[in-house]
Chain A
Amino acid sequence: MSELVRLTEVTKVYQGGITGALNGVSVAVEKGEFAAIMGPSGSGKSTMLNLVAGLDRPSSGTVTVGGTDLGKLGEAGLARFRRDHIGFVFQFFYLLPNLTALENILIPAQLKGNVVPGRARELLEQLAIKEVADRYPALLSGGQQQRVAIARALINNPTLLLADEPTGALDTHTGDQVMELLGELHRHGQTILLVTHDAKLATRHAARVISVMDGKIVDDARLESPDRTASEVIRVRGEEVSR
């Protein structure tokens, strides 16, 4: 398997931040992996994801995705990089309120100058949201909104799918459905980096759990068979993780 993401000695100090949000993080993610980043609130999970997406720049260290050192790209270069390689799913969906579901999904392709109605229809079908294609986000349920957001993230066939607490704003049942969907995508070969502070969710689908605390990686567990070792992980890291 080839390496897709590599963080080397990455630190991030926000303006006005007293301590770093990330303090010397080094980690690599292989192509085809489904890795979960876990940790308590404020531990630096989102910060890490944002750096991988090229939405922000590290204070020191390097972030490499697919062999490209993101530090070497300018603003326009980063935008192109995101468009071509990254799909991003947020906790609060962030659909554009004045565009219909379908229009939202098509945006990343159109920014690239592509017209891909076939691909969009395929995704609508696959994510079971065909019937809401022409509705505006305000008229969709949370679960439907998140599916639309996932379809939008996938429209350009991204190398890497980043999801930051994708179930955080959903009820348990809907959240489970979304996680099932991610698992399904992973089985079809999609590389996924998932941020969550829910250990159960992390271990049910991800084959690897990276645990973060105070901006440092405190554990990196590869689970040969996720289902079997799930309870173990929860037991071992229970204290920190469930905080």
Chain B
Amino acid sequence: MGTSPKVGATHFAILAANYLSGVKRQKTALIEWGAQGDFAKIGRLCAGRSAMERLERRSGEPFRVLDVDYYKEAGGAQLLSCLSAGYGRIVLDFGAPGAGHVEFVQCGTQFLIGSLSEWQLDAFWAFNRQHAHKKNRWKTLVAFGSEESRIEAERRLGVAVGRIPLSVDAFAIDYPLMHWFDQLFG
């Protein structure tokens, strides 16, 4: 989940799914929680417009990109069906804070994606103030913002704030990303 819109939560979710599928070779599903609309755009671009139109008629069917199954605008029903579909890992992209918070805190591993860019700092701190009692539940990660801001965030929050390595293409796992995810997932 992102602390606010446009912090890179979907980018991170796609990266994580591609790592789990490409490096760990686990059958992976990526679920877009709610009507964010990003996955429909990805599907049209990667799977093709006609394939997406076919999928529209068969609701609940995923489209596949690089061995990852993408479920667009999904919810509890899709999550339940994925849980029984034999996936090794299911990645949920909650996007910005909203209706999916209950499901987010129920996930086996939770990543909170924030941004420490100056114009997004208020939202980062507002979210963390609101959920201060839960800060140890999730791993907090940031892609944007200075290193000084990240160290300051660690000091003020009292938890580790990880730095997501630069990734220009969410569909390509290079060596630095692989190394970083190896440590993140253990």
Q: Are A and B co-members of a single complex?
A: no
User: Which residues of B come within 8 Å of A, CB atoms?
Assistant: none
